[in-house]
Structure 1
Amino acid sequence: MNYKKILLLLLPLIAFLGMGTMLSNIESGYADELLEAHGLTNNTRFFRTDSSQSISSFLQYLNKKYRHHQIQLHFDNNYEKDQVLVWANHSVRSLPTETGRYFSPDDFEGHISFAVLGPATKVDLLNVQNNKYIVLGQNYYSVIGEFKNYPQVKMNKYYLSTGIDQPTAKGQLKDYRIVVDGTPNVINKIARHYRAKVHIPSFVQKHHKARWSVLPDILLCLACLLFGVVGNVLLAIVIKRQATLTRLHGDLLRNWVINRSVRLIMIEGLLALLTYLFFRWHAFYSTYGSLIAVLILGWIICVIMFGITLWHSFRKDKKVVEITD
């Protein structure tokens, strides 16, 4: 492989790195929004009720009535402003943590509540054998994770899991702002059941106004893809010229081109894999499946453009030869 091919192979590598970086920027920005929203989506609504029903009874009602609907709840304490209780009946929207982890569905089962801290949380903590515990009265809550620090977001809250049999579920609904993430139809039914009015959280309103904020990153991602496509077009042209210089014909020429082309395609696949491994350790993604999909799609598009350019070049030469003959 000569130096021209090596230099041109840097173009797809730069393209893969650029697409991975832009995707990370998009997902990191989305994660910031989720963090500001305490891990909820734009379907989130909230309501307040004067009901003296316990949180435990409320969760039993949801399990019975909406077992097959995905719901996530946050109970914002009216008196302990920094405290948020978290519950979900299926999956939990994860948030980036500096250490440890965020809640999983298993944390809402059983009789023990767990805690996740913000970096600016001001709450009584107890350190025992490298384990942290939140101390609230006579109750101790094991800390399983701490959020990353985002300067643009208030990080003074702490989150406790809650469940039907957990001590945090003994409080009354009237002492909390009930934040519900689910389908609008389900949220409205729950609110009507408690004769409450549904409201839109401020973070949802802000995000609706700024929904196009990721457009520059998307355009840059497409520009990086175009960079890789140009590199593959040039690689196809280089191989075509080298094939002409070999003075091979027929099956020998065909096998020579296929051999060189497959080798280049495999090298680019390896570059995409190395890009994935690099970002796996050096960038944030809510799910690495999105990174894999972007890199595979970029690689496929580059390969297709390489093949089209090569096919078009040889087809053009064939027509010239036929005309000459």
Structure 2
Amino acid sequence: MSDIIPAHLAPTFNTALELLLQQRGSLLRAYVQPGNQMGEGAQYINQIGKADPAEKNAPRLSATPNMNVPGTARWVYPNTFDWGTLIDKRDKLFQITDPQSGYLEAASLEMGRQIDGEIIRAVFDVARTGKNGATTVPFPAGNVVGKDVGGTASGLNVAKLRAAKKLLLKNFVNINEKPILVVTAEQHDNLLADPQINSKDYNERPVLVDGQISQFMGFQFVHCELSALPDGDTWTLSGNDRKCPFWVPSGVHLNAWQEVQTKIDQRPDLKYATQLYTDMVLGGSRCEEGKVGAITCVEP
């Protein structure tokens, strides 16, 4: 076999990886506001606040009103993510682009976990606003549903879903923009045991399909094992208390400075082993505090 890596392998792998990322990579990216602003540093999202009240019954021929409409910027900062591995058997190069390849699967799943980890961080971490991002805005403690709602030290239940829905409505969130709730297997199992979930008396149409609950009370459930994400437990777990985040898509922004790119090279310094490398540059932030929240669920 030639010592030169075939030129088609890198773009073929990149295309296959992008497709696999869409299919089995990130679980959460489809549910946030996308962005692709470019530049070397931080980018910002323009925010328009609540306008002053309109004039009522103004005198005839009075001055045209000039209402104050507050505005600010929400800053998003780039983070680089790199992944690579070495393949020491050149006669197995064809496996790199095989859809069933372990290399392709490993790369897509890891990059997907990194994307989801960045989204969870964006939900819970301080957001930066104001000139040059100098002002920090913490996650709103008032948007957390307590662990005792619906039962002392309880898991996920209908009462907690009602409380979360109430929070969004009180914050004037457009519920037609379907809220997302991230649940682990524990919270999904909590709901399976709740009689209101399975009873036809509470639901016009079946909620349980093939043993899975995908939506209830207007929330779309996305199953994601938060402990498997980078820093997932740091942001969502305290003792046995799991904070399951919820948001509407316009409430969380994920900017891509660079989508996944790949390189395939040989390493003369390592007996000409084949090096597979992929990287991306992403960053996220909350857009509006009123559009995000969390439900505290006790795990065994």
Smaller-chain TM-score bracket: under 0.3
| TM-score (normalised: structure 1) | 0.24
| TM-score (normalised: structure 2) | 0.26
Bigger helix share: 1
